[in-house]
Amino acid sequence: MEFSSEEFQRLLSIFREEGSEYLKSLGDGLLHLERDPHDSAILEDIFRNAHNLKGAARILGLTEIASIAHELESIFSLAKDGKMTITPERIDAITESINAINRLLSADVKEEAVNIQKEAEKQPSAKFNRRASDRQSLNTIRVSTEKLDNMMNQVGELLVSKMRLEKRMDDTNLLAALCEGLIKDISRFKRDEIRLKGAKNAVAYINQDRKKCGAIDKISADLARLNDDLIKFTTDFYENQIDLGIVTGGIEESVKNIRMLPLSTIFEAMPKMVRDLSRKLNKKVDLKIEGGSIEIDKRILEGLKDPMVHLLTNCIDHGIEQPDERRRIGKTEEGSINVAAAAVGGYIEITVEDNGKGISIDRIKERVLKKGLVTVDALPALTNEQLINFIFEPGFSTSDIITDISGRGVGMDVVRKNIEELNGLIFVQSEYGKGCKTTIRVPLTLVTVRVILIEISGEVCALPETSIDRILCVKEEAIFTVGDSDIFREGVNILPIGRLHQILGFPKREDEGSKDEYPVIIVESGEKKAAFIVNDIIDEETIILKNLTFPLTKVKNISGAALLGDGRIAIVLSPADIIESLKAVKAAPIKKVKEKEIEKKSVLVVDDSITTRTLEKNILESSGYNVTLAVDGVDAYNKLLEKRFDIIVMDVQMPNMDGFAFTEKARNTQEYGDIPIILLTSLESEVDKRRGIEVGADAYIVKRTFDQSNLIETIRRLI
């Protein structure tokens, strides 16, 4: 976590006081254990003190103190369970560890300590650096991606200049054609005038108007020479333009190739991640990867990292069954996950497929009804494919409990959002009992994009060609209003339809209401599809996509901009955003009410560590919640008798009544059985998590992976 300097110093001051008390209790307990090493009450007490010290240190990012406290906790746990005796020699070593923590507490700890571990993890070891450098060729140098991006921007400017020259070439050709036409008109004028005078009078007429005819001849000759010069100029210009196109295309291709990296760059980390997570969940998983040699733009590669982690996590956590369960249903103990990549035209398709349990359609039906996403009457009409797509809805999860691994309902929503930001698509197929297959389709590069140019309220906008299903004209009488939404029928499908200028906040064009029919673009993103009324369809063009810079990096409905060949700037629209915005316009009043309700929610925070209580209180109050504090399960239950809370956030290991006992007691009462309970603890074993599920906790968050955004998101989802 990151804190402001003032917040960190205030929390550090509280932690020092609390830590000193823990260390004093540990010292007193050790003195007692020298006389009676098997005193279970003392062992329980010092174990809890070490545990709380570790948890508070981890919250503040004081990794050295947390690491030592963790070792002490492990020793006391073994002693408490009768697997180790606290001998005098061990007491000496423990005392030395306590002294080390005391020295760290007294040291001048600065705010930067919060991120020490993260920064250290970013730095490769010296040994690794030496090995890497040995493998590098003498002809290879490292170039920052910022420089490559700058080069690509310059190439973009060069391509725009090339497009402008092409436009000027068209103008020059038009001028030459006009000049040639003028010469022909003059010649025809002279012939016609001679014919009008008649053959007998022709010579006399010419002699009489010789001066006028001489001027016309001179103009005609000048125009002929100008025409010859224009033809020569356009010929040379055309040849130079071809040369410029070849050079520009070569530079563009070279820079794009420099930006390309193999998929193995992110694939290489997958085996370890799968191994670690499968061991943590006591599952056996075989991972196979194909297509790692395919190269893709660095920006897209970076955008794929998080989605791939989410998908693999889902495969292991939700998909692959426990070995004993797989044996029982006739499967091999070891589950399999296949990751395959293939280039298809200018796109890349990545599939992630497992042979686990698949997605339960019945569980999805249960959740969509519970969340009010569909009505009971509408549910039978939905196909399995439509039901599966609900997993991409914000806050949707089929997990029984929220943990540090999954269940928060943000995973697949984040995956879809990230893929759509890459102008990509994602599809999920599943057969319950046999497994699940997810397909991602993204472009190889985001530098050049083929778009359809449209006019909206006098502004030029662009939509990626890949997101456009159809372009058609729709008569006004074909648009119907149902409730507060406009729809129109496209074949057998009924699509939502909206005016794009309203979604973007542009003014209405004066002549918009006078038309009998409107240009309509049907836009798709994944399985979602919607229709949009625009003012005009201009053209199709290949553009150089420019990302928006700060402070416009995240503008709703817009993914970038492009400089067109005629000098105009086109706004590049985000297909996913405009489809979502069409729905959000109708949902805005509901959202406003929900946000207003959140401000009134009350939270009971229960922890015997004053540092942790203070930190959680600050986080929740800054997010608009009313917070009440309790020091253990008994205190929490007494406060619950005085007042009903909307949600409870509590530690597990506490004196008098721990979190498991409190949760079980609350669930067995009619008054408090429905209050959501989040267990926020340092206990991270699968046994403890299963215990949390058994007693009825709604979420289980490990302090080691604690992040305030996860806590807030979990609370919002549960209430």
Q: Which residue has the higher pLDDT, 518 or 597?
A: 518
pTM, whole model, 2 decimals? Answer: 0.50
| pLDDT for the residue numbered 480 | 78
Average pLDDT value for residue range 330-358: 91
Tokens representing residue 109 in the block: 């700890």
Average pLDDT value for residue range 488-494: 71
Checking if the pLDDT of 699 tops 80, the result is yes
Checking if the pLDDT of 151 tops 80, the result is no
Average pLDDT value for residue range 520-539: 86
CA distance 466 to 422: 12
Which ranges of 499-632 does DSSP label H, i.e. alpha helix? 500-504, 575-598, 610-622
Checking if the pLDDT of 385 tops 50, the result is yes
Min mean pLDDT across 33-42, 56-65, 115-124 is at 115-124
| pLDDT for the residue numbered 54 | 84
| pLDDT for the residue numbered 141 | 53
**Nearest Cα to Cα of residue 594 among 584, 603, 604, 581:** 584
| pLDDT for the residue numbered 595 | 39
Confidence of residue 416 (pLDDT cuts 50, 70, 90): confident
| pLDDT for the residue numbered 459 | 87
Checking if the pLDDT of 664 tops 50, the result is yes
Confidence of residue 336 (pLDDT cuts 50, 70, 90): very high
CA distance 562 to 163: 13
Beta bridge partners of 353: 338, 437
Dump pLDDT digits (tens) for 263-277: 988 898 888 888 888
| pLDDT for the residue numbered 587 | 35
Checking if the pLDDT of 112 tops 50, the result is no
Which range, 159-168, 354-363, 621-630, 682-691, is most confident? 354-363
Average pLDDT value for residue range 577-596: 56
Buried b (16+ CB within 10 A) or exposed e, 525-560: bbebbbbbbbbeebeebebbbbeeeeeeeeeebbbb
| pLDDT for the residue numbered 553 | 57
Average pLDDT value for residue range 86-103: 86
- CB hemisphere CA count around 692 (13 angstroms): 30
165 Cα distance to chain centroid: 39
Q: What is the mean pLDDT of the chain?
A: 77
| pLDDT for the residue numbered 129 | 36
| pLDDT for the residue numbered 351 | 95
What are the CB-based long-range contacts (under 8 Å, 24+) for 272-281?
273/309, 273/312, 274/312, 274/316, 274/337, 277/312, 277/313, 277/316, 277/317, 277/405, 278/316, 278/320, 280/405, 280/686, 281/316, 281/317, 281/405, 281/686
Q: Which residue has the higher pLDDT, 336 or 516?
A: 336
Q: Which residue has the higher pLDDT, 134 or 676?
A: 676
**Nearest Cα to Cα of residue 16 among 51, 60, 48, 75:** 60
CA distance 301 to 693: 37
| pLDDT for the residue numbered 469 | 86
CA torsion angle 571 577 579 584 (round to 10): -120
Q: Where are the beta strands (DSSP E) in 105-245?
A: none
| pLDDT for the residue numbered 598 | 40
Dump pLDDT digits (tens) for 689-698: 888 888 888 8
Checking if the pLDDT of 323 tops 90, the result is yes
| HEC assignment per residue over 419-470 | HHHCCCEEEEEEECCCEEEEEEEEECCCCEEEEEEEEECCEEEEEEHHHEEE
| pLDDT for the residue numbered 332 | 94
CA distance 398 to 619: 28
| pLDDT for the residue numbered 647 | 93
Min mean pLDDT across 35-49, 550-564, 634-648 is at 550-564
Average pLDDT value for residue range 239-251: 70
Kindly give, in sequence order, each residue whose CB lies less than 8 Å from that of residue 339, ignoring residues fewer than 6 positions away: 267, 270, 287, 288, 289, 290, 308, 312, 350, 351, 352
| pLDDT for the residue numbered 389 | 84
Q: Which residue has the higher pLDDT, 718 or 122?
A: 718
Which ranges of 289-354 does DSSP label H, i.e. alpha helix? 298-314, 323-328
Which range, 242-246, 330-334, 482-486, is most confident? 330-334
CA distance 545 to 452: 13
Angle at the Cα of 385 from the Cα atoms of 409 and 305, rounded to 5 degrees: 45
Question: Over pLDDT 90: what percentage of the chain?
Answer: 14
Average pLDDT value for residue range 27-45: 84
Min mean pLDDT across 113-117, 371-375, 505-509 is at 113-117
Question: Over pLDDT 70: what percentage of the chain?
Answer: 74
| pLDDT for the residue numbered 8 | 75
Buried b (16+ CB within 10 A) or exposed e, 49-79: bbbbbbbbbbbbbbbbbbebbbebbebbeeb
| pLDDT for the residue numbered 147 | 65
Average pLDDT value for residue range 538-561: 73
